[in-house]
C-alpha cells in the first residue's frame, strides 16, 4: 500500500503508511533534495536552538552578518548576539585577527560574562581558519573559556547536526565544571532537552515540586553556567526530548554515573507515567495523590471541549522526538492522527510514533512544501500542527493550524494539556473556516425532489419512496444521487406515512435547502421548517420545477 501523494522518485522511501511490525519506516537522515522547498534549517540553527538561552555568556557568530541577524531569534525570542561581521576582504585575507578582536571587545562590552561561545558559519567552515587556535589564544589572554562551536550550516543534513555539535560543547566546556568533590544533592534532577517554550518549564517544575524534587539545571531552557557547572550533582537526569537530550544523558551517565529516564510531559497519560517513574525513583509517597488530584481536575476542565474534538483528524509535522507523545496527546483528546512527520526524525523517532498511532497513518520524513500542500488538499485534515513556515499555506487552503512549539500558553503537564485542548478547539472552531467555505456553498443549492418515475413530481412527502437529490448552481442542474427512506420492515411498528416516517424523511434530507413534492401534511411542513428545510408543493415535469425552484429560493 502506498500514500496517494505524488512524489519525486527520490522521495518515495521517505513517505510510508504505518505498519505495526516496525520494519517499514520512512527513510531518514538523508540529504535534502536540491530544488525542493524543505522545512529544514541548518546546523548553525540547531546549535543556536541548543545554546541561545544560556544567559551569562557572550554568543558570538563568526561569519557574515546575515547569519547573526537570523541567529539572534530563537523560538521567537531575540537574544543579544555578537557578530564578527565578515566582509569581502576578511574572506580573502583571513579573518583571524578580526575574530580575536571581536571576542575581546565583546567581553569588554558584556561585563560579567562567564564564557564566550563562538559559532562557525558556512563561509568560515570552508576558509580553513583554525578556529580552535584563535579561541585558545583569546581564552588565555582573557582568562575565561572561549569555546568554538563548529557548526557551519552545511554540516550534517539538517539542524539535528547542530544539536549534536552543541551537546558536545556543553559536555566538554560547561557541564560538571563545579566542585567535583561535592556530593550529589538529595531530591534533585536535571532536565535535558527542555527549552521552556511559553512557560512549559514552569509547569514541569511545579509538578516535580509537588513531589519534593528540585531542578538543578535545565538544558537549555534554564542553564546558567553555574547551574551547568553543578549539574553533575543531580541524582537523576530526566530526558524530555530524545533528539536534544539523549546523548547528553548517556554521556553524563558515563562520566558522572547519573541514571536517566526518558519521559514526556505532553498529555495526561504521558505526564502521569512520567511522574510515576520519577516518583518511584525517588521513593516519593506523594505521587499517586498528586496524580489523582491533578488528572481529575484536568479531565473536568477539558470536558467542555471534547465533543468538538471527537473524531477530528489531525496531521503532525514538527521536531521528531515530540511526534509520538503529541500524537498520543491528540488521541487522548479523541482526535484521529492521520499523519506524523518531521524535518529531522531518526529511526527510533518514527518507530516510537508508529507505535502510538494506528496502522495506515502516513509517516513522512523531511516532507517539503509541495508534499504538505498535497497532503492538505487530498487528505483535508481538520488541523495541521507544525511551524510558522507551514502555517500560512495551511490557512490559504482553509485548514486550521496550530503552531508547535506553541505560541500562546504552556502545553506541558496537566495544565498544559488543558491549554492544548482549549487552543485546539478554539482554532478549529473559529467561524472563519466555515465562512470561507460558505461563499462557494452559497451559490450551490441542494434540492430534493419526491419523484418515483424520475420525470415528474409525483409523490406525497410523508409517503415518498424516493427522493432525487439535485445540485443547482446559477447555470447548472446536476443530479447527485437518489435517496430512499428505509423500507417498511425497519419502521414496521408504524405506517411509513405516520409521524416517524416524516421524521425519518426530514433527517434523510438534512443537507437540502428544499424539497419538492406533490403535497405535504401541515405537521410535516412545520417540522421541516424547524430544521431549515423548505417544503414546496408543485406538480409537473422536473426540469420546469427545478428552474422555478432556483428562482424562488
Partner 1 sequence: MAAATGARVVTIDPCHTCQPLGAAYLLLGIRGAVPLVHGSQGCCSYVRYLLNRHFREPVKVAATSFHEDAAVFGGRRNLVEGIKNLLLCYSPRFIGVVSTCLSETIGDNIDSIIREVQKELNGKINVSSKQVKIVPIHTPSYAGSHIKGYDNASRAVLEYLVQPGKDSNGKLNVIPGIINPGDIEEIKHILVEMDVPFLVLYDISRTLDTPLEISMSRLPKEGTSVKELADAANSLGTIALCRHAGGAGARYLQKKFNIPALLGPLPVGIANTDRFLDSVKKLIGKEIPSSLEWERGILLDAMADSCQYTMMKRAALVGDPDIVAGTTRFICELGMEPAVVMSSTASDEFVREVEVIAREYDYNPVVISGGDLYDFESALKERRADIILSPSHGVEIARKVKVPVVRLGFPVYDRVGYHRRAIVGYRGSLSLLDLIVNSLLEFS
Pick 123 or 329: Cβ nearer partner 1: 123
> Which residues in the 63-122 window bind ligand SF4 by CB under 6 A?
63-64, 66-67, 70, 121-122
Asked if the peptide bond before residue 264 counts as cis, ω within 30 degrees of 0, the response is no
Nearer Cβ to ligand SF4 (63/267): 63
Region near partner 1 per CB under 8 A, out of 20-28, 122-130, 177-185, 443-451 = 122-130
78's contact among partner 1, ligand SF4, none, with CB below 5 to 8 A by partner kind, is partner 1
Cα 41 from Cα 81, distance rounded (Å): 19
Site size for partner 1 (CB under 8 A): 76
Under rule CB under 8 A, residue 403 binds partner 1 = no
Q: Does 397 bind partner 1 (CB under 8 A)?
A: yes
Beta carbon nearer to ligand SF4, 99 or 428:
99
We find the least distance from the C-beta atom of residue 116 to partner 1, in angstroms, to be 11
Type and span of the H or E element at 114: none
Maximum separation of any 2 CA atoms in the chain, in Å? 100
Q: Which long-range contacts (CB under 8 A, 24 or more apart) does 2-6 make?
A: 3/362, 4/378, 5/371, 5/374, 5/375, 5/378, 6/374
* Identity of the residue, 26 or 152, whose beta carbon is nearer to partner 1 in the bound complex: 152
| Measured distance CA(229)–CA(293) in Å, rounded | 36
Cell of 332: 487522548
**Which cell is 397 given?**
487552503
Q: Which is nearer to partner 1, 119 or 305 (CB)?
A: 119
Report the C-alpha gap between 323 and 340 in whole angstroms. Answer: 6
C-alpha 239: how far from chain center: 19
For residue 341, give the H/E element and its range. Answer: strand 336-342
> Torsions phi, psi of 448, nearest 5?
-105, 145
Q: Considering the complex, state which of residue 229 and residue 403 has its C-beta at the smaller distance from partner 1.
A: 403
The binding track of 148-187 with respect to ligand SF4, each residue x by CB under 6 A or -, is ----xx----------------------------------
Please state the φ and ψ torsions of residue 467, each to the nearest 5 degrees: -120, 135
Q: Does the footprint of ligand SF4 cover residue 506 (CB under 6 A)?
A: no
44 contacts ligand SF4 (rule: CB under 6 A): yes
Query: Among residue numbers 19 through 48, which ones bind partner 1 (CB under 8 A)?
Result: 31-45
Q: Please give the DSSP secondary-structure letter assigned to residue 414.
A: H
We find the least distance from the C-beta atom of residue 155 to ligand SF4, in angstroms, to be 9
User: Binding of partner 1 at residue 152 (CB under 8 A)?
Assistant: yes
**How near is the Cβ of 438 to partner 1 at its closest, in Å?**
11
Q: Who contacts 120 (Cβ-Cβ below 8 Å, separation ≥6)?
A: 44, 62, 63, 131, 148, 149, 150, 151, 152
Torsion sign (Cα): 517, 522, 528, 533: positive
**Which neighbouring-strand residues pair with 317?**
341
The CB density around residue 139, as the number of other CB atoms within 10 Å, is 16
427 to 466, contacts with partner 1 by CB under 8 A? 432, 436-437, 440
15 Rama class: left (phi>0) / alpha (psi -120 to 50) / beta? beta
Choosing from 14, 98, 240, 328, the residue that interacts with partner 1 (CB under 8 A) is 98
8 near partner 1, judged by CB under 8 A: yes
307 binds ligand SF4 (CB under 6 A): no
Among 153, 413, 416, 462, binds partner 1 (CB under 8 A): 153
Work out whether 167 is an interface residue with partner 1 (CB under 8 A).
no
Q: Please, what is the minimum distance in Å from the beta carbon of residue 392 to partner 1?
A: 4
Within 65-94, the residues that bind partner 1 by CB under 8 A are 65-70, 72, 78, 80-88, 90-91
Dihedral angle of Cα 216, 136, 154, 389, to the nearest 10 degrees = 40
Report the residue number, 66 or 532, with the smaller CB distance to ligand SF4.
66
CB of 84 or CB of 188, closer to ligand SF4: 84
Binding site for ligand SF4 (CB under 6 A): 42, 44, 63-64, 66-67, 70, 121-122, 152-153
Amino acid at each position: 500500500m502506498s500514500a496517494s501523494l505524488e512524489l519525486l522518485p527520490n522521495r518515495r522511501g521517505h513517505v510510508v503508511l504505518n505498519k505495526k511490525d516496525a520494519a517499514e519506516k520512512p527513510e531518514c537522515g538523508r540529504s535534502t533534495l536540491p530544488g525542493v522547498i524543505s522545512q529544514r534549517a541548518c546546523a548553525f540553527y540547531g546549535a543556536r536552538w541548543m545554546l541561545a538561552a544560556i544567559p551569562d555568556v557572550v554568543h558570538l557568530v563568526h561569519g557574515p552578518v546575515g547569519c547573526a541577524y537570523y541567529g539572534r531569534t530563537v523560538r521567537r525570542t531575540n537574544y543579544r548576539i555578537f557578530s564578527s561581521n565578515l566582509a569581502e576582504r576578511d574572506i580573502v585575507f583571513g579573518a583571524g585577527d578580526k575574530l580575536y578582536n571581536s571576542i575581546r571587545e565583546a567581553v569588554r562590552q558584556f561585563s560579567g560574562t562567564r564564557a564566550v561561545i563562538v559559532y562557525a558559519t558556512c563561509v568560515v567552515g570552508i576558509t580553513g581558519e583554525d578556529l580552535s587556535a584563535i579561541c585558545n589564544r583569546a581564552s588565555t589572554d582573557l582568562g575565561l573559556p572561549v569555546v568554538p562551536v563548529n557548526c557551519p550550516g552545511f554540516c550534517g543534513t539538517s539542524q539535528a547536526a547542530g544539536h549534536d555539535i552543541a551537546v558536545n560543547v556543553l559536555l566538554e566546556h560547561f557541564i560538571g565544571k563545579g566542585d567535583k568533590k561535592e556530593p550529589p544533592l538529595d531530591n534533585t534532577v536535571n532536565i535535558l532537552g527542555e527549552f521552556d517554550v511559553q512557560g512549559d518549564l514552569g509547569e514541569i517544575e511545579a509538578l516535580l515540586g509537588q513531589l519534593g524534587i528540585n531542578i538543578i539545571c535545565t538544558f537549555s531552557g534554564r542553564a546558567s553556567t553555574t547551574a551547568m557547572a553543578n549539574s553533575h550533582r543531580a541524582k537523576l537526569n530526566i530526558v524530555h526530548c530524545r533528539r536534544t537530550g539523549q546523548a547528553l544523558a548517556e554521556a553524563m551517565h558515563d562520566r558522572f554515573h547519573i541514571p536517566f529516564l526518558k519521559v514526556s510531559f505532553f498529555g495526561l497519560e504521558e505526564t502521569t507515567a512520567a511522574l510515576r517513574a520519577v516518583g518511584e525513583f525517588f521513593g516519593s509517597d506523594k505521587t499517586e495523590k498528586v496524580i489523582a488530584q491533578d488528572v481529575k481536575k484536568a479531565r473536568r476542565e477539558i470536558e467542555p471541549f471534547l465533543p468538538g474534538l471527537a473524531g477530528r483528524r489531525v496531521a503532525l509535522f514538527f521536531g521528531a522526538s515530540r511526534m509520538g507523545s503529541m500524537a498520543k496527546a491528540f488521541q487522548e483528546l479523541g482526535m484521529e492522527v492521520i499523519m506524523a512527520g518531521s524535518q529531522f526524525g531518526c529511526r527510533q523517532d518514527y518507530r516510537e510514533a508508529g507505535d502510538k498511532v494506528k496502522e495506515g497513518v502516513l509517516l513522512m520524513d523531511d516532507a517539503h512544501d509541495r508534499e504538505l500542500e498535497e497532503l492538505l488538499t487530498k487528505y483535508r485534515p481538520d488541523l495541521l500542527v507544525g511551524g510558522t513556515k507551514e502555517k500560512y499555506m495551511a490557512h490559504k487552503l482553509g485548514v486550521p493550524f496550530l503552531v508547535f512549539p506553541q505560541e500562546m500558553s504552556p502545553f506541558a503537564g496537566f495544565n498544559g494539556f488543558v491549554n492544548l485542548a482549549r487552543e485546539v478547539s478554539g482554532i478549529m472552531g473559529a467561524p472563519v473556516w466555515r465562512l470561507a467555505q460558505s461563499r462557494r456553498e452559497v451559490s450551490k443549492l441542494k434540492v430534493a425532489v419526491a419523484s418515483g418515475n424520475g420525470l415528474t413530481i409525483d409523490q406525497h412527502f410523508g409517503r415518498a419512496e424516493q427522493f432525487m437529490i439535485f445540485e443547482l448552481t446559477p447555470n447548472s442542474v446536476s443530479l447527485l444521487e437518489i435517496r430512499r427512506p428505509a423500507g417498511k420492515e425497519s419502521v414496521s411498528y408504524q405506517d411509513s406515512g405516520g409521524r416517524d416516517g416524516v421524521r425519518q424523511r426530514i433527517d434523510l434530507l438534512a443537507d437540502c435547502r428544499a424539497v419538492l413534492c406533490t403535497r405535504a401534511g401541515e405537521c410535516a411542513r412545520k417540522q421541516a421548517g424547524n430544521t431549515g428545510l423548505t417544503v414546496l408543493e408543485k406538480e409537473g415535469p422536473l426540469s420546469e420545477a427545478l428552474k422555478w425552484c432556483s428562482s424562488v429560493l
